[in-house]
Structure 1
Amino acid sequence: MRRRRVPYSVEEMEWLEANYKLVISDYHRAFVAAFDRADVTLSHLNQLRKRKGWKVGRAGGRYIGRHRSFNDAEIAWLRENRMMVIGDYYKEFCRRFGRHDISANGLNALRKRKGWKTGRTGQFVKGQEPPNKGKTCPPGKGGRHPNARRTQFRKGHMPHNSRGAGHERLDSKDGYIIMIVADKNPWTGANTRPVHKHRYLWEKANGAIPDGHVLKCLDGDKTNCDPSNWEAIPRGVLPHLNGRHGMDYDQASPEVKPALMTLAKLKQAARNAKKRRSERNRGAGDAA
């Protein structure tokens, strides 16, 4: 239900309009005392001022062109010396005007609000020399402090976990042996690089692995890196040996492994022959 609007007499309205800039609590108290209107609440008078559009505050742009913290002489000095470094800018301002109630951040914020450019970008320019160029660190300071010296690497120092050429480790993920060889690393430029030992030795004995082929361990022991224990087989043979529906070659007995390898190769050869026949038939059908 809509609340009933409180009625006011002409005399009351004249008083309310003449005194609307009073603080709301004083406004209400004075009105009730002057007209004995106990039925009028503070909220009633506040809503009345809003309906009438009586503005009780100061204008929103009242500070435009004015400085709440600085007088004209201070602003003139700050503008003239705006290119000083903020630390010197602040100290000189405080000394000259005795203004210790202002902070360095306050002056920096003033420069930003005014759009005063300092002439500095905070960036190094091409050819700029650092301030410490040609200067050596004093003894006992910085990197020459005894505490810093104790933890510095010496010339020729090798880290405790460095591994030179010939070092081997077992790859815990795949079970292959990783060996460090004295070949230039094509990715990092280092003088050594890690390789799979079985592949490295096989290629030394037999040349590069043919395209589409992979090395298969014949006895199931991946740590046996003798080239004779590895055979380059077509990649398509692997699913027949190790796949989900394969022959479980690695777990088979040594006597059976050669037969399983031969059978897997035959299956792959039959699959390839079937694929070629299908392609020929498709080509003949397209030609017809």
Structure 2
Amino acid sequence: MPSRVPEAEQAWLRENYAHGTIYDTLDAFEAEFGWRPSKRTLYVRAHKLGLRKLRQDPEFRGRRAETTIRWSCEPEMEEWMLEHDGGRPHDDVAAAFHERFGIWLTRGQINIFRARNGLQTKDGCGGRPARPIGYERRTKGGILVKVAERATVPMSKDNWRFKHHIAYEEAWGPVPDGYVVYAVDGDSCNCDPENLVAIPRRTMGAVNQLRGEGATWESREEFLAVAAERSLAVAINDAESRIPRKCAVCGAEFAETAEQRRYGGRTATCPACIAAGRGARGDRGDKAPTVCAVCGRTFPRSQKNQRRCPECIARSPKRTAARQREEERRGRE
């Protein structure tokens, strides 16, 4: 603490700083010494003296975080918050709530209440003013635009929309159900209508796979042709998945469920066997004979990555090849 700070003020801070909010301390300081420092000045002085508010103490914060408040189960508290919150600073709301109910709210609990009731966009919430309608911000998925003052569904962000979605609808009309807006050049921030197409959601995965393999297209028409070919391939896959097949476990005929068709592969086990915990091993790849990594005998593999013969596996089923080889070597010694 610099020597220019009077000893009386230092002593007063040591005695009174820990209690109440920073605003309570400022008011009390002004009443005691006749002048009012800024919050920053008071914080700096307290820090240099090694002081902190009780509500900032790790032990106190731990106890406060253990207090679970489910707003849906506390109608009286929720009603009080709706009446008294008003977008005030978190510390003021927490202090008023403590005075009424004897519980210190965390910043997260206040934010959850505001989000649950669609109040998270009020001026002052989160320490910054609400963004105006039309405000844009860049994200990983493209440019988000604020289209409404508040969300229509609490705890959602449906008052924000991607700019390339808006641009597509203005140029080409509404996006059909089950479709997504796709950027031909891969840049969702490029909102040129000629760069935007709507394709089925399932087709998008097949198109992304082509792009990952290095495929490119020069124009919107060329991309639409590729998307049509991929849509046809997806439709053929769906049709083949509906053909009844024989279960590899019990031998009964079955057709894939809609849930199984989502993943594109061919299921070899019927739903009844899956429900009973039985599964087909299927084709595990190259099963050419190989040399056992433990005993050195040649054996036919039952799966691609098998390194031990059946006899060695039977002796130590829970060991790796290296571990079993080392244990058996030590046993011989």
**TM-score normalised by the shorter chain: which range applies?**
0.3 to 0.5
Could you say which structure has the larger radius of gyration? 1
